Chains A and B, each alone.
Chain A
């Protein structure tokens, strides 16, 4: 569980994270969504104690990150895409990290197997492909078998197989009761993996909700009809909370009513509908709506 209270970070007069309060619950994948530069990475670095908040506080599993006796056992993190010494082998990188916590060598071998890095484990990290170095990052994240994991843009630049693998890994971690917090600027990616969304833009919270609610709230479904009696239907449907836009070729774009209501109204007044459909706004549209 991650709890942020009024988290604020300023660089000079530039406020990067502004009074951010949210809770990330265990057992689900929580997406941390926002355009580039929204303050996601800074927030994650504050959670991990790498950056110091100007105001507010954040705890992981009940206490500030730096106060845990064995932080890698509490929180695993994947930050920079490939932060490894180019000349050190993958396994030596993991062994050094493990040594800080007295994590035994068999656990190092275990995570190397788990991420499918056996063949490359003794190669210099500088020679690893992007996909392989991301797997090494994941291995480091899993080293302490942590209750909470934090990932910053984990699928960026990966091929479809790698993306698929990371999605499943995050779902599996959540399914075993862990807290999974993943930052992304890609809404479609979050729609595939996340159940909850924390949406930020310019450092401020704009939504803390489920994926479905987020889309619904940001921009509700609209009803599209095509009818030769467009003008008449428009008059009939007009009312408070209803927005109707007239489109070319006898089409209407209706907001504030369900397709059932539109269909029934048309039948009552003997209006012929040649087409009746519901247009679910895309996640991208919802996102743009909220963050613009």
Chain B
């Protein structure tokens, strides 16, 4: 045996990249997410411009945020795909083969997170810029004749923030699925934390515990990055993003701990 044939983190990343791109669901799902982001952004931009011209809305921050608002829909698609990257191995039984090839196990988790995370970051950042460009063009050519550009203060942060936010959603989904293992259960947790929790929290009294706790919820905190101007009831953009990142990091550590510890498969 020569050292050139051993398992390395880089090799496991290569392996996970092969796995990710050799199933049809990956390009399909990422394509749906990108189309949803651009398509929804276009429709919302058109409708927003109409409401401005009819005096029902004022331009304000919406000039930047409306074209990329489809990113919030994309998060569910990204969440589902991130879950499948891991839970698919458990339902198909390939997790045994994957962990037999890499018995130290953690390189597999890091590789899945890195490969899927970077893929999402790249594709969704690109989609966000396209959505922003098309949305602004639609608003600009409308009767309202309003638009923002990347030179508008806060615009670059919001547009790149979509990709960064979805990057954390992707890592969160991979971590949750490593903990939960079943597809249905993992999707329920991801959707529950990102989408249902903020709705539930809005039902609580605003002054609970002396502060509005809803701003500290994962997706609410993370979405602070997607506001061009500072608002009173949300965290500062990068603080909020860091808080979301902290939640994801803790979830990932729990996932790593359980992946190391637990038995794979329950054959008796």
Contact = CB atoms under 8 A, between A and B. Distances in A.
Interface of A: 11, 16, 37, 39, 41-42, 45, 48-52, 65-66, 68-74, 77, 79-80, 82-89, 92-93, 95-97, 99-103, 140, 144
B97 A70 contact: no
B5 A71 contact: no
A50 B96 CA distance: 7
Nearest to A75: B100
A42 B268 contact: yes
Given A70-B1, A96-B16, 9 more contacts: A51-B263, A51-B264, A71-B100, A84-B94, A85-B89, A86-B92, A99-B14, A101-B11, A140-B97
Contacts of A99: 11-12, 14-15, 18
Interface of B: 1, 3-8, 11-12, 14-16, 18-19, 22-25, 88-89, 92-94, 96-97, 99-104, 261, 263-265, 267-268
Given A70-B6, A83-B96, A85-B92, A100 B267 contact: no
B11 A88 contact: no
A79 B95 CA distance: 11
A213 B5 CA distance: 41
A82 B97 CA distance: 11
Contact of A100 (B7, B25, B92): B7
The B contact surface, by secondary structure, is helix
Most chain B CB neighbours (cut-off 10 Å) among A39, A69, A140 = A69
Given A96-B19, A100-B12, A102-B5, A71 B268 contact: no
Contact of A66 (B15, B89, B104): B104
A45 B263 contact: yes
A69 B6 contact: yes
Contacts of A85: 19, 23, 88-89, 92, 94
Nearest to A152: B267
26 contacts: A11-B268, A42-B268, A45-B96, A49-B99, A50-B263, A51-B264, A70-B6, A71-B102, A73-B5, A74-B1, A79-B97, A80-B96, A83-B94, A84-B94, A85-B23, A85-B88, A85-B92, A87-B24, A87-B25, A96-B15, A96-B16, A96-B22, A99-B15, A100-B102, A101-B7, A101-B101
Contacts of B264: 45, 50-51
Contacts, number: 118
A70 B22 contact: no
B103 A49 contact: yes
Contacts of A83: 92-94, 96-97
A37 B268 CA distance: 6
B10 to A, nearest CB: 9
B101 A88 contact: no
A41 B267 contact: yes
B15 A97 contact: yes
Given A69-B7, A96-B18, A102-B11, A16 B23 contact: no
Contacts of A92: 18-19, 22
Contacts of B14: 99-100
A204 to B, nearest CB: 15
Contact of B101 (A39, A82, A84, A100): A100
Contact of B22 (A37, A88, A100): A88
